Amino acid sequence: MTGDGTRAVRAGLPEPVPYEPSLPGPVFAAHYHLPGDPVGPYTYGRDENPTWTGLERAIGELEAPGEEVTTVAFPSGMGAVSAVLLSQVRSGDAVVLPDDGYQALPLVRERLEAYGVEVRTAPTAGDAQLALLDGAKLLWLETPSNPGLEVCDIRRLADAAHAAGALVAVDNTLATPLGQRPLDLGADFSVASGTKALTGHGDVLLGYVTCRDPERAAEVRRWRKTAGAILGPMEAWLAHRSLATLQLRVDRQAATALALAEALRGRPEVTGLRHPGLPGDPSHAVAVRQMRGGRFGCVVSFVLADRARAERFLAALSLVDDATSFGGVRSTAERRGRWGGDAVPEGFIRFSVGAEDPEDLVADVLRALDASAEAATG
């Protein structure tokens, strides 16, 4: 079997055709030419599009190399998250969600409860999910979690969930399929926002669901058709183009994230430092077991004294944009408390490491820490 980089540059692409581009251009079609009985895969644009198919094959090859899986692409990560939850659970079912996951999950919770679904919550770390599985239909995991970078043992929780008759979905956004393969670890669904590291340029919103069971996949696909939440062909094409560099980006960004975390470890003004790749981090032991290739993601989180200090730090950075989201080739950071949706301290920084030279980036961060301290006393 070929390596991740080799797979990434060819994923989902057709055999080369003379005088044709290696990545076929986006197909813009609301409907297709359908003489006779409409038996082909492409009939109406809301159901299928060849540009989606290429991208979906590519993601499937990365999530589960060499296996028959189905991937269904969505126009955003939340489109994918909602598609799994709303296609799998019915009124009267119970689901277990993380209470420290992506900040829009509470909105999904409200929706589920409005539809008569019982929602139970547990923190990502600590195995508290185990006590909530009895009678549950679906266990939702997000690991590493955003923004807290907690990690849970997917295999262990999936085994327990299956024994209790529950399905398991894992939000694989932060790790990307090169950093973690949830289906191999026992999950029924690997779900992600491709807006982040998967596409990596901060220029496209995307989501996907990959699963092995064709019937489950058909339910997700039917949900997409029903809700009509479909990806534009241009976005699908752009995302597919980005996958060729996935391994380069993920490896570089993960290595620099670790270097940054190590540099921050020695700083007295930094508390609550988290990065799953950092030896000694509470997530490290499980992350090493279930994540792949030393790819622990590009996010480092830490806490500065208070809001003012965090804002001064962000303003003092010169190579890092103050922006939300993560996973892009340009480093970004934000004071996560600005949104009000996460249970984090006022001075909590979520830092997304880009593809800059590691020495430049680390120097910029350390300089900005110094500069933000001076402003306080000066």
Q: Toward ligand PLP, which CB reaches closer, 193 or 301?
A: 193
First to last CA, the chain: 60
173 binds ligand PLP (CB under 6 A): yes
Stretch that binds ligand PLP, among 116-124, 167-175, 245-253, 276-284 (CB under 6 A): 167-175
What contacts 24+ positions apart, CB below 8 Å, involve 130-133? 130/157, 130/160, 132/96, 133/96, 133/160, 133/161, 133/164, 133/166
Contacts of 313 by beta carbon, 8 Å cutoff, 6+ apart: 304, 349, 368, 369, 371, 372
193 binds ligand PLP (CB under 6 A): yes
* Alpha helix ranges (H) inside 164-245: 176-179, 214-227, 233-243
CA torsion sign, 142 to 150 to 93 to 64?
A: positive
Stretch that binds ligand PLP, among 2-10, 150-158, 189-197, 307-315 (CB under 6 A): 189-197
- Identify residues 76-115 at the interface with ligand PLP (CB under 6 A): 76-78, 81, 102
**Total residues at the site for ligand PLP (CB under 6 A)?**
15
CA angle (76 as vertex; 73, 78 as ends), nearest 5: 110
Does the annotation mark 102 as catalytic? Answer: yes
The active-site residue, picked from 93, 171, 188, 342, is 171
CB of 341 to ligand PLP, least distance (A): 12
Distances (CA, A) of 9 to 47, 50, 62, 242, 243: 27, 19, 11, 9, 7
146 binds ligand PLP (CB under 6 A): yes
The active-site residue, picked from 102, 137, 212, 252, is 102
Query: How would you class 99 by CB atoms within 10 Å of its CB: exposed for 0-12, middle for 13-18, buried for 19 or more?
Result: middle
How many whole angstroms from its chain centre is CA 356? 21
Q: Toward ligand PLP, which CB reaches closer, 176 or 195?
A: 195
Binding map of ligand PLP across residues 205-234, x = CB under 6 A, - = no contact = x-x---------------------------
Q: Toward ligand PLP, which CB reaches closer, 175 or 369?
A: 175
CB of 358 to ligand PLP, least distance (A): 23
Does the annotation mark 46 as catalytic? Answer: yes
Q: Toward ligand PLP, which CB reaches closer, 169 or 316?
A: 169
Phi and psi of 309, rounded to 5°? Answer: -65, -40
Interior/surface letters 55-65, b for 16+ CB within 10 angstroms, e for the rest: bbbbbbbbbbb
Say how far apart CA 121 and CA 105 lie, in whole Å: 11
Residues β-bridged to residue 120: 96
Residues 368, 317 contacting (CB under 8 angstroms):
yes
Stretch that binds ligand PLP, among 4-12, 192-200, 251-259, 314-322 (CB under 6 A): 192-200
Does the annotation mark 153 as catalytic? Answer: no
Stretch that binds ligand PLP, among 54-62, 128-136, 190-198, 235-243 (CB under 6 A): 190-198
CB of 66 to ligand PLP, least distance (A): 27
Q: Toward ligand PLP, which CB reaches closer, 170 or 303?
A: 170
- Identify residues 8-27 at the interface with ligand PLP (CB under 6 A): none
SS3 322: strand
DSSP assignments along 363-375, one per residue:
HHHHHHHHHHHHH
Q: Which residue is nearest to ligand PLP (CB)?
A: 77
142 binds ligand PLP (CB under 6 A): yes
Say how far apart CA 181 and CA 322 lie, in whole Å: 31
Q: Toward ligand PLP, which CB reaches closer, 53 or 324?
A: 324
By the criterion CB under 6 A, which residues form the site for ligand PLP? 76-78, 81, 102, 142, 146, 171, 173-174, 193, 195-196, 205, 207
**Which residues are tagged catalytic?**
46, 102, 171, 196
